[in-house]
Structure 1
Amino acid sequence: MTLRRSFPGLAAGALGISLTLSAVPAATAAGEAPAPTVSEQQVMPHLRALQRIADRNGGNRAHGTKGYADSVAYVKSALDRAGFRTRLVPFSHDGATGHNLIADWPGGDPNHVLLTGAHLDSVKEGPGINDNGSGSAAVLATALQVAKSRLKPERHLRFAWWGAEEQGLIGSADYVKQLSAAERRRIDVYLNFDQTGSRNTRQWLVIHDDERGETEAQQAFEAWFAERDIPTFDIGVGGSDHESFGNAGIPSSGFSTGISDCIHQACDDLANVDPKTETTSTDALIGVLWKLAATAPGL
């Protein structure tokens, strides 16, 4: 990821998961109960898994490498066990086949889709644990909370992990290009998360839709952070995966914790992520997704 502006006050700064649904006695309708929260122990294991994948595959998880393929397999396996309908969508770039991973949670209005995503690939120079293992882990942990709660949303929930984004937003652009006009209209909003665990984070950078102004999702994120006295700063649509959706007329929001010290370097490893920041980001994602999932379509 490359953010295309500077932000005041920011520092520049396989592997099983068990998920037991039997502990949840009944499905939870969106809006019936407060959004759950997570602990570091529910988020950081995903980042440790991605670090191990990079370590055994030449130190990176880049497009066209086994490191990326193993990263996709790790996330897909967790989602399959949790009850998601998953599919790998191939594309070609720079002489190599890449994949986007799409996961749908059963239920919700298919004409009103809430799509949540992050790019899963790293650059070849490093493991990409903050950029963007952190966003990928936050999205995965959120999806697993949906499954654990057996959530019954009003909107249909779809989650995505993009490939080859570090080479120019390739995976997300390919996904959008393959959508029909009707399928694009069915996506109410796209939520994007890129670098969600940066060290020395002082404010969260909330995505503002330049074309449509303040979306319901942006309002929900800013409200969530304001309720906890966490500073935010608005950023425009550009420089990460949400750009592909904004260019296609799909409303977008989400957030980042800013460019880290080790962006696109070998030192973007597990030590480059602050567990508290990553957990706060995941809780924010869960809280807003729960709110938007409960919104009756058309309202």
Structure 2
Amino acid sequence: MLPEHNWPYTRRAWCSVEEWGLHHAWTFDHFSWRSLRGKPWYDSLTTLTAIAAVTERIRLGTLVASPNIRHPVPTAKQVMTLDEISGGRLVLGIGAGATDGTDARVMGSVAGVRRSDRFEEFVTLTDLLLRNPRTTFHGACYEAVEADMVPGCVQRPRVPFALAASGPRGFRLAARFAETWVTIGDAARPGARSEADGWGVLTRQIEQLTDACEQAGRDPDNIGKLVNVSRLVPDPYASVERFIDLVGRCHELGFTDVVVNHPRPSGVFQGDPAMFEQAVRQTLAVFAEDGQ
């Protein structure tokens, strides 16, 4: 669900998806976002904190936070706090961040630092901060000097990471740090490929992740695999049957989690709220009967 709504709407919508039985819910983490720039857009971690206070069961997360607009030290303190308020329901989704758009420019850039280097350092330092009561770190992009994180996360040894990765270095990073790997298919052109090509991309990415895990000495079955189907195909819940089929295909490929964007009245992620609810509820029932 995009962080674009006023609080009364946001509260109703998030409480509704918890009541339907969804296992987790997410929000984008951007300063502003693409075609919606200049329109209402709120901070994701603040929004999730408010949602954590009015929900009880559903897991909450960023899909995904990035170094484009965040520094590991204050972000880790916010994450630790949000994990406490949510009662240990937070998942920290992290990605490298887009190379274009407002986010890539709004905080300036670090001269001479590659995006992939910055991403790896961001993840490495955030991991250290959330695992330890005090951290000192000196890197090319970030520093932490006796950064205290007390009392630490509710979830131990830290809040779980969901890392977005689509290239070899990202897959190696996910194999090392992530509890869940995140994909939107072709990250360079989300939604631009045909459906057949999109499924081919996911198949190859699963294979790449498996190889990275095996090289790292990690069982590939021990990392969650999450796909946002709204970035992969058009109209994912155009009918109940279509959504059930999409979730089933994702399951067959080896995905453990499927995300779909909440409907908007127009523009990106436009959809019918009634059909969305019907598709989600019935799909949950189908897969619950199958024990999946």
Tell me if both proteins adopt one fold, taking TM over 0.5 as the criterion: no
- Greater relative contact order, per chain length (Cα 8 Å cut-off, separation 6+): 1
TM-score (norm 2): 0.35
Pick the structure with more strand per residue: 1
Higher alpha-carbon Rg: 2
